[in-house]
Chains A and B, each alone.
Chain A
Amino acid sequence: MKYEDAVAKYDPVIGIEVHVELGTATKMFDAAPNSFGGGANTNVTPVSLGLPGALPSVNRTAVEYAVKIGLALGCEIAESCRFARKNYFYPDVPKNFQTSQYDEPIAFDGSVDVELDDGEIITVPIERAHMEEDAGKNTHVGGSSGRIHGAEYSLVDYNRAGVPLVEIVTRPITGTGAGAPEVASSYVRTLRDIFRALGVSEARMEQGNVRADINVSLRPSPDAPLGTRTETKNVNSFRSIERAVRFEIVRQAELLDAGETVVQETRHFHEDTGETSPGRVKSDADDYRYFPEPDLVPLVPPRDWIEELRSGLPELPAERRRRLLGEWGFSELEMRDIINAGLLDAIEQTVSAGASPAAARKWWTGEISRLAKQDDREPAELATPVQVAELAELIEAGKLNDKLARKVLAGVIAGEGSPRDVMAGRGLEIVEDTGALQEAVEQAIADNPDVVEKIRGGKMQAIGALMGPIMKATRGQADAGKAREMIIERINA
């Protein structure tokens, strides 16, 4: 079945669980560093390993970050909440339970506005945001990998075990129709941007700092009760999120069309095929026997602390985007390109340093991005906003044209100093000496009588044919506008 037919026939409903790893210095319940790199099983304490008698203690900064996330998502912050044990056996969970929150999350009942590509705003309802800890990492060895013939086992590194997470759960998102895949990915992107603006996480999808579980169900019409949902786990890129939603919508529509039923289950997404497949089928998979964590006392976030955090919230991405859009006068599309390229900060700082928004945008999204891509680097690593602003100022003042400015920029990137230094050092300033320019113009006119004849006859575009020799004579340093004026003046004289 085609996707278009599936969404024409059925009303998709999605729900998303996002896990974000907090960028604290230490883990959620112990003082082991929350960092990667270094040897396996070195960022661990007896608490990370769940050794007998080890007692957890709550990281104040992690709680602060969770509250900030809750506030940014318009949630209520619990008057009182507690931690709970989620019991299951898996080797990456050394305690045989994950310390999480169950019936008393720290934040609940919020919403977040998500802007789609066409500018439409969808309000996604947030059910809850709760604190928990990450698991360690399993590496499967043996069998097909052939490391030890016939051996099948896993290696476990607990460096990540206990890293603070906040899980954000939406209510069912309805009314998206065919736009469900885009709403899902835009929602996660919006959260990602919020985490970064809050400074609570590096929020790098490719590093697994942000992971999404995607619930999809279909119903015959928007008035019908919700259908049976599937949950596709750990979808880790925006593109994969869209593909997973599309795939599930089509797969479920085909089942329903064939008179079959959708099985409520966990599924896995496969990057290579874009398909999902069922996960482990375990009848007791959801029987986690949650109970209050006896080793941790309740959290009663003081109201004055909450208000202090609320008043200290930074400008959130959506507000900032609206403000800058108004100030800069770019189109929505231009603005989205800037954001997707991660150039908003650089351009804003370049404008603050004195450049026009148009010039700042042109250099960052143009030449600098191009050079960065060539070297597989980030644009912000090549030049500073102050340097770009200075470059724009030199162009504005008529001392550089675009071609020369690109050479100056190359010098700046090569570490030859500020744009002014490079311009002086490489002798790239536009020739102000009208004598030299006049000479070049005279020579070009004398050498090309046929072109001059055309210009006299009204063919103004023929002027271009004279610019080449002029630029050549002045080593590209002539002000093209001025040269043009001089040609017209000379010919009409």
Chain B
Amino acid sequence: MSEKSAITSAEVAHLADLARIAMSEEELSSLTGDLNTILANVARVSEVATEDVPATSHPIPLSNVMREDVVGETLTAAEALAGAPAADGDKFVVPQILGED
């Protein structure tokens, strides 16, 4: 492990919470180590990136991929609900959201 962690165990716990993933202390500690290794490896990219290489969010030089505004095929309600854990009529059933109005 490097002497200074790029990501702390508290940050991983926060992210796990945001992602609604319950994690034990052991899992948190192990994942923090893994993530730091990954981050350290990824950070090496910046060693070769020079100022004339702009940051990008998309590796393929492609833009303006758009479709015409024409209605296409849709699913039926039965097809839409086929994979749903629970349904009532033609709607999905989900647990009540805590604190919902």
Contacts and interface: CB of A to CB of B under 8 A. Distances in A.
A289 B63 contact: no
Nearest to A65: B69
B77 A41 contact: yes
Interface in B18-54: 18, 20
B3 interface: no
Contacts of B1: none
A156 B63 contact: no
Counting from the closest, the 6 A-B pairs by CB-CB distance are A31-B72, A292-B57, A61-B69, A155-B91, A60-B66, A152-B96
Contacts of A155: 88-89, 91-94
A347 to B, nearest CB: 33
Nearest to B75: A44
Contacts of B101: 268
A41 B18 contact: no
Nearest to B93: A153
A142 interface: yes
A223 B97 CA distance: 43
Q: What band does the interface of chain A fall in when counting residues whose beta carbon is under 8 Å from B? A: 35 or more
A140 B69 contact: no
A280 interface: yes
A192 interface: no
A331 interface: no
Contacts of A316: none
Contacts of B58: 82, 292, 294, 297-298
Nearest to A94: B92
Contacts of B92: 41, 91, 155-158
A115 to B, nearest CB: 33
B63 A299 contact: yes
A264 interface: no
B4 interface: no
A474 interface: no
Contacts of A24: 69
Interface string A21-58: 00011100011110000011111111001010000011
Contacts of A191: none
A63 B68 CA distance: 11
Contacts of B65: 57-58, 296-297
B15 to A, nearest CB: 8
B93 A59 contact: no
Given A24-B69, A42-B76, A42-B90, 9 more contacts: A31-B67, A40-B90, A44-B74, A49-B80, A57-B67, A140-B96, A140-B100, A153-B95, A299-B66
A25 B71 contact: yes
B18 A287 contact: yes
Nearest to A43: B74
A45 B75 contact: yes
B94 A153 contact: yes
Contacts of A280: 99-100
A157 B70 contact: no
Given A40-B89, A153-B93, A156-B92, A45 B73 contact: yes
Contacts of A330: none
Nearest to B78: A41
Given A41-B81, A43-B74, A26 B69 contact: yes
Contacts of A158: 80, 92
12 contacts: A31-B70, A31-B72, A32-B71, A41-B92, A42-B75, A61-B68, A62-B69, A80-B63, A140-B100, A141-B88, A152-B96, A298-B58
B97 A44 contact: no
A266 to B, nearest CB: 11
